[in-house]
């Protein structure tokens, strides 16, 4: 089975540009998480979806960040406008209903904002 698929793997952009990160969760999983990983702050939960509905977005840094999950097989994380402090690795993870919260992570999207 394919795992969690993220794209792009690497993104280099200039400050002020819009960035869209994409995630395809594992088929049959009903929960999806977006995490951000930096050296300074470690692994931070940005937002959590259950059955395509955003349940907890308290980790979203500010209004520049938005996330959507239009269907069970696709989610996006958008940053507009991007800033250098957004540079990080963004991970998407999914889990299934009877999995007790075990997460399956994607390979991550490494974002560099110049």
CA 20 to chain centre: 10
Cβ nearer to another protein, comparing 45 with 72 = 45
Shortest distance in whole angstroms from residue 81 CB to another protein:
27
What are the residues binding another protein (CB under 8 A)?
Answer: 31, 33, 42-43, 45, 48, 50, 55-56, 91, 93, 95, 99-108
- Beta-carbon count within 10 A of 51 CB: 11
Cβ nearer to another protein, comparing 74 with 96 = 96
Shortest distance in whole angstroms from residue 42 CB to another protein:
4
Residues 112 and 46: their CA atoms lie apart, in Å, by 18
Cβ nearer to another protein, comparing 82 with 95 = 95
Shortest distance in whole angstroms from residue 48 CB to another protein:
6
């Amino acid at each position: 089975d394919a795992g969690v698929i993220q794209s792009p793997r690497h993104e280099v952009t200039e400050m002020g540009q819009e960035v869209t990160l994409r995630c395809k969760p594992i088929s049959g999983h009903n929960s999806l998480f977006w995490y951000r990983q930096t050296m300074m702050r470690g692994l931070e939960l940005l937002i959590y979806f259950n059955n395509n509905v955003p349940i907890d977005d308290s980790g979203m840094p500010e209004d520049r960040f938005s996330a959507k999950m239009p269907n069970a097989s696709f989610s996006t994380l958008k940053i507009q406008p991007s800033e250098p402090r957004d540079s990080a690795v963004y991970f998407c993870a999914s889990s299934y209903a009877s999995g007790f919260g075990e997460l399956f992570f994607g390979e991550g999207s490494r974002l560099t904002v110049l």
